[in-house]
Amino acid sequence: MFDSLAELIDAPEPVFAPLALDPLMAKLAERAGFKAVYLGGGGLGYSKTFLEANLDLSQLAQAGVEIGAATSLPVILDGACGWGEAMHLRRTVAVAESAGFAAIEIEDQVYPKRAGHHVGDDLTIPPAAMAAKVRSAVEARRDQRFLVIARTDVAKADPEEAVRRSLAYREAGADVLVPVVGNIGDPQVIVAVGERLGPPLMFLCPPGGLAHVGLSAAEMHAAGYRILVDAMSLHIRVYESLAAGYAQLADGFAIDAERPNQEWWDALADLHETIDLEALLEIERREAGDG
């Protein structure tokens, strides 16, 4: 039985939550030893060749249900702007909880969300409007272990405003705060903001993870960051691998020609083990025997 995310953030080290867009990614994360995963709207939007702004709550909920059917790892939902205003958060949280998510992250960007977010053009709503969303989300949850995570994107340009907003969101009831300071690229700012706010905080790592943050996991934890999310690295790696694979396959319909044939079959066997094919085969054998 896995610990709840609410329990994990009390541990003496950060909770590492890599991206998982589907059950297979979640199973692989579990096998690698991770204790939580992150269903990122950005990655899921890209996978559909559109953007997070084009996704709706039902699509994310369905992905959560499918991931939950494959693993018991806590899943953090990237809830974008909550799909509406304070009133809408009541249904958003009800659906997120019913889909099995352990937490929802909501942000203070304008709704409908804009494509410009992906190139650093973030438009935010007044802090009072975001605080109202947080209050509504907290009031709507049925299980106190379901975490409401409040994010502000103003830190990229104004860390001081990020601190003010984050404190207002905590006052409104947010369990975890996300002052998005990763794009600043200054470890001193990351630490300073974290120390002023205090734990528990969540940090969105840039592509490449902590290697491009300039701080160790222990240093992040000491600064108040209890959840470290990598929302893009694996998706970019998969994209690059698929692009290279299709390019190779288009040239003579052969791929990795130097790779021994047995290695392909070994990889397929490993995939079968990951999805527990043997359990399904055993059911068929048992039922066939009973017949």
CATH of the domain at 26: 3.20.20.60
Q: At residue 208, does pLDDT exceed 90?
A: yes
User: Same domain, yes or no, for 276 and 157?
Assistant: no
The range of the structural domain enclosing residue 144 comes to 5-232
Residues 227 and 245 in one domain: no
User: For the chain, what is the radius of gyration of the CA atoms?
Assistant: 21
Q: What DSSP designation does 117 have?
A: G
pLDDT confidence tier of residue 154, bands split at 50, 70 and 90: confident
- 69 contacts: CB under 8 Å, gap ≥ 6: 23
Is residue 27 domain-shared with residue 120, that is, in the same domain? yes
8 Å CB contact between 107 and 153: yes
Average pLDDT over residues 116-141: 92
Per-residue pLDDT tens digits for 178-192:
998 755 568 999 999
Buried b (16+ CB within 10 A) or exposed e, 126-163: ebeebbbbbbbbbebbeeeebbbbbbbbbbbeebeebb
Chain center to CA of 283? 34
In the sheet where 147-152 sits, what is the strand order? 15-18, 225-230, 201-205, 176-179, 147-152, 103-107, 75-78, 37-39
- State which of 198, 214, 232 marks the end of a domain: 232
Cα(179)–Cα(127) distance, integer angstroms? 13
Is the same domain home to 126 and 208? Answer: yes
Q: What is the reported pLDDT for 1?
A: 43
Same domain, 101 and 85: yes
Answer yes or no: do 113 and 215 share one domain.
Answer: yes
pTM of the model: 0.95
